[in-house]
Structure 1
Amino acid sequence: MDHFSTDDIDEVYAWGRQIHRLNLCKDRILELYLAPYEITAAQFKVMLMMNRDGLTTSADLCRCISLDSGAMSRMLDRLQNKKMIMRVRSTTDRRQFHLALTEQGHDFCRQIPLIALKSFNELLAPLTPSELNELDRLLKKLVIPAGI
């Protein structure tokens, strides 16, 4: 179903801007809670994927986060410098490395649920419970057909 025509391009841009602003707001709030750990929102997402989903390769992380390999490599370098992750050479293919959480990384990952809860409670505080349920329903209606 088409909701917009060429006459509505300014409204289309406004929708895009609002969606982008909401994502920025989410990341800014998240970074407030991450500041004591010296972790960025983007690094948080990598740590979350490694911990929750067991991702162990740069390629898998790139696919899940939609980040190019160069940017991911730099991010993994920063996480390794922070002693959150380590690269371990594959025993079956010397050209390949697997990623693993360090003890410090595991310690941080134990904080992830509380950080996520606080961040999303702050982000979504203006919504009533019924508005939150409606937002959830609408978001699912948009992302499920996209396969995301």
Structure 2
Amino acid sequence: MSAKIPHAHLDAEPVSEINETIGLLLHQVRLRLIRHLECDLAAGGFGINFSQYRVLRTLSLRELVSPTEISRCCGHDAGALTRMLDRLQEKGYLRRVPRTDDRRAVDVTLTEAGRAVWREIQACGLALSSDALSDLSATEQQQLFEMLKKVRGTLDQRPYK
């Protein structure tokens, strides 16, 4: 018995409940969140995609961040990240700062324009999160976060084979 899920066009085919795993469900939720966020960012005229959003978020958390740290946080290889940083720098959202301890290395920081755009696009992300969780009570939202953190912790303790 196959249950048709909303927005089935976003998936290759409807998924029966028996075949729905936590990994698949989390993946589907993530894809929908990304699609909605990118639509909201496009509607706001920001010209920012999800990958760029993640880079700006990473930069918003610390004053100076190495490209290696950004790559690790955002899951991009060095070449893709360099091109993305170039585009964000062209938009005036970040700048590269030479390291004092190694002239070959740079750190990356947000510019004032980058901080301003981050505040605006962060509001889009927060609004989307609020919308996504709106059918859950405050208690259910807290429980969901606690359970997901617990699953993450369990996986963090599991060795890779």
Task: State the one-letter code of the partner of 2:147.
Answer: L
- For the Cα contact (< 8 Å) 2:63–2:110, is it kept in 1? no
Provide the residue aligned with 1:46 in structure 2.
Answer: 55
Which piece of structure 1 moves more, 107-116 or 26-35?
107-116
Corresponding residue to 1:105 among 104, 108, 114:
114
Matched, 1:32 2:39: yes
Corresponding residue to 2:101 among 92, 98, 107:
92
2:147 match: secondary structure: helix
Provide the residue aligned with 1:22 in structure 2.
Answer: 29
Q: Please report how far the alpha carbon of residue 144 of structure 1 lies from its aligned counterpart in structure 2 after TM superposition.
A: 2.4
Uncovered stretches (5+) of structure 1, i.e. residues with no partner:
1-9
Q: Please report how far the alpha carbon of residue 13 of structure 1 lies from its aligned counterpart in structure 2 after TM superposition.
A: 6.3
Provide the residue aligned with 1:69 in structure 2.
Answer: 78
TM-score, normalised via structure 2 length: 0.74
For residues 128-143 of structure 1, the aligned pairs below 5 Å read 128-143=137-152
Task: State the one-letter code of the partner of 2:135.
Answer: P
Corresponding pairs, count: 139
- For the Cα contact (< 8 Å) 2:41–2:121, is it kept in 1? no
Uncovered stretches (5+) of structure 2, i.e. residues with no partner:
1-15
RCO higher in structure (CA 8 A, sep ≥6): 1
Provide the residue aligned with 2:129 in structure 1.
Answer: 120
Separation (CA, whole Å) in 2 of partners of 1:130 and 1:91: 48
- Distance change (3 Å), C-alpha of 1:114 and 1:74: same
Q: Once the two structures are aligned, what percentage of the paired residues are identical?
A: 33
CA RMSD of aligned residues (A): 2.4
